[in-house]
Homo-oligomer: A and B are copies of this chain.
Amino acid sequence: MNTARYPAPTLADVPDDIRARILEVQEKAGFVPNVFLALARRPAEWRAFFAYHDALMLKETGSLTKGDREMIVTTTSAANNCLYCVVAHGAILRIYEKKPLVADQVAVNYRKADISPRQRAMLDFAMKVCLRSHEVEDADFEALKAHGFDDEDAWDIAAITAFFGLSNRMASFSNMMPNPEFYLMGRVPKEKK
């Protein structure tokens, strides 16, 4: 039950542009997160997936911090029971927020997490988009505004939630497993890694 259903290509087998990006990630992280190779067996989908990812997660505008974004991913991925995304993005969340406990907290019950009221409102909105998007209504946007989020921020929250809903389903259906390295990242002071 714990190996990927679809064999991943090796680095040598993937197109150059994909290999270049993967090497860049490996350089930075110290290992290749499994999603990069698992999806590379279909280059066109890979390119679209990471273009979408980057457009949402690397954008410089808006009021969402990178920690906020990873918090949305970890929380909604837990609601979708996606092992890969909870573990991988929980790791990044810990690092960005510099809070070793926060990922486990939002994954189990974000209502109990040690986060700001602004982040709580952000997650309430994200969870509604994740679980009941057809019921989103004006009041949900008003609740965001009370914490300083404008309509562009609402779009960011919704789009991140929607994109990782896609990612969650791909990872779960294909039995994508998180790299062991992720489990410990951000839990202990950096020099120990």
Chain A interface (Cβ within 8 Å of chain B)? 1-2, 5-6, 42, 44-45, 47-49, 51-52, 54-56, 59, 78, 80-83, 86-87, 100-101, 104-105, 107-109, 111-115, 120, 129-130, 133-137, 141, 151, 154-155, 158-159, 161-163, 165-170, 172-175, 177, 180, 183-184, 187-188, 192
Whether the pair B151, A162 counts as a contact (CB closer than 8 A) is no
One complex includes copies of this chain to the number of: 6
- In the bound complex, what is the Cα–Cα distance between A124 and B143 (angstroms)? 22
Closest CB-CB distance, A4 to chain B, in whole Å?
11
Whether the pair B162, A162 counts as a contact (CB closer than 8 A) is no
Given contacts A47-B51, A55-B48, A174-B155, whether A114 and B2 have CB atoms under 8 Å apart is yes
A sample of 15 more A-B contacts (CB under 8 A), given A49-B52, A112-B175, is: A1-B115, A6-B155, A44-B55, A47-B51, A47-B55, A48-B55, A52-B52, A82-B109, A86-B108, A101-B180, A107-B107, A133-B168, A133-B169, A134-B172, A158-B173
- In the bound complex, what is the Cα–Cα distance between A174 and B82 (angstroms)? 25
